[in-house]
Amino acid sequence: MSDTSQVDFIGDIHGYADHLEKLLKLLQYDKINGAYKHPERMVLFVGDYIDRGADSPRVVNIVRNMVDAGSAVALCGNHEFNAICFNTMSKNGFIRPHLIKNFKQHSETLIQYLGKQSEYNDAIEWFKTLPLFIETKSFRAVHATWDNSSIKYLSTNLQQGTLSPEQYLEFSNEESQLFKAVEITCKGKEAQLPKGISFFDKDGTERYDIRLKWWQNPEGLTVKEMSVIENLELGNELFDAGNMDYYKENEKPVFFGHYWLKGKPKIFGDNICCLDFSVAKGGHLVAYRYSGEKKLSNQNLVYI
């Protein structure tokens, strides 16, 4: 995208089409020739358009029409990336195995596209065109994690932030550098929990690792303090930071989603803005109205 300072960043939508249209109208976007537009501003969607909510196809159409009209840029979220891999074969079968838990995560979307196979196939092909990250002179945006080493690798090896057909096959090798870089960028940094400790996530899957607050200086913090999910019974063991590269205070503002935050939307720092406040769990669909400021403010958050 061209370097613009008039951007409305919108967080994870997950099939909540009515919420998306209400938020766009609240942001003063009008539907013109089938696409929502603003006379002076544009939207940057940070991914996760599908799964969980009642109308993923309509969300995809709204976002795609805006992208085609030049009034939005859309990133690829982990749910779009998972859907691609769910439909892409490697020599060992589908890249995302057709396990029950994977069907469950994608089931609402599959049901909503029932009888619309060609539309579903077209959506998967469109997801492949969506970049994993974007950087301008003013800001950075990514679905889950802006990790400098991962972004550097992807910037060097991907074309416009997207994987080629050959690279999806390379991604299927979990030992590859590409797999690790995409996983961090699209799904987050993780750390293994101390031996004997686990928890169950929102889908009932037992987890032995935690998603990390990669934007937070880990020095002197406990494992519990570094976990994105709050109120886990993790004890007071110190987090082993090792050589973890966290997002520094002097870096560009970064906008992302992914983390299913709870409560009233707020920013995490002068240059840190997470936009996922769990619309699919009774929370909020959130936007940040950015106008080029280097110091972000809670006053610029808009949500329903």
Mean pLDDT of all residues belonging to the chain: 94
How would you write the chain as a 3-class SS string? CCCCCCEEEECCCCCCHHHHHHHHHHCCCEEECCEEECCCCEEEECCCCCCCCCCHHHHHHHHHHHHHHCCEEECCCHHHHHHHHHCCEECCEECCCCCHHHHHHHHHHHHHCCCCHHHHHHHHHHHCCCCCEEECCCCEEECCCCCHHHHHHHHHHCECCECCHHHHHHHCCCCCHHHHHHHHHHHCCEEECCCCCCEECCCCCEECEEEECCCCCCCCCEHHHHECCCCCCCCCCECCCCCCCCCCCCCCCEEECCCCCCCCCCCCECCEEECEECHHHCCEEEEEEECCCCCCCHHHEEEC
Pairing of strands 199-200, 190-192: unpaired
Band of pLDDT at residue 135, cut at 50, 70 and 90: very high
**Regarding predicted confidence, which is higher, 208 or 288?**
288
Per-residue pLDDT, averaged over 52-64, amounts to 97
- Tokens 């009209």, residue? 69
Instruction: Write down the pLDDT at residue 243.
Output: 79
Per-residue pLDDT, averaged over 173-195, amounts to 93
Instruction: Write down the pLDDT at residue 158.
Output: 97
Strand partners, 140: 135, 254
Instruction: Write down the pLDDT at residue 2.
Output: 60
Per-residue pLDDT, averaged over 204-208, amounts to 82
Per-residue pLDDT, averaged over 86-102, amounts to 95
Instruction: Write down the pLDDT at residue 206.
Output: 85
Instruction: Write down the pLDDT at residue 196.
Output: 77
**Regarding predicted confidence, which is higher, 239 or 22?**
22
Q: How far apart are CA 117 and CA 57, in angstroms?
A: 12
Band of pLDDT at residue 43, cut at 50, 70 and 90: very high
Instruction: Write down the pLDDT at residue 9.
Output: 98
- Tokens 């906008």, residue? 255
**Regarding predicted confidence, which is higher, 235 or 226?**
226
CA distances from 20 to 41, 96, 185 (A): 17, 28, 24
Band of pLDDT at residue 3, cut at 50, 70 and 90: low
Domain locations along the chain:
7-147+249-303
CATH 3.40.1190.20 fits domain 7-147+249-303: no
Is residue 154 pLDDT above 90, yes or no?
yes
Weakest mean pLDDT among 105-119, 167-181, 219-233, 280-294: 219-233
Per-residue pLDDT, averaged over 250-273, amounts to 97
Mind listing the pLDDT tens digit for each residue in 185-196?
999 999 888 777
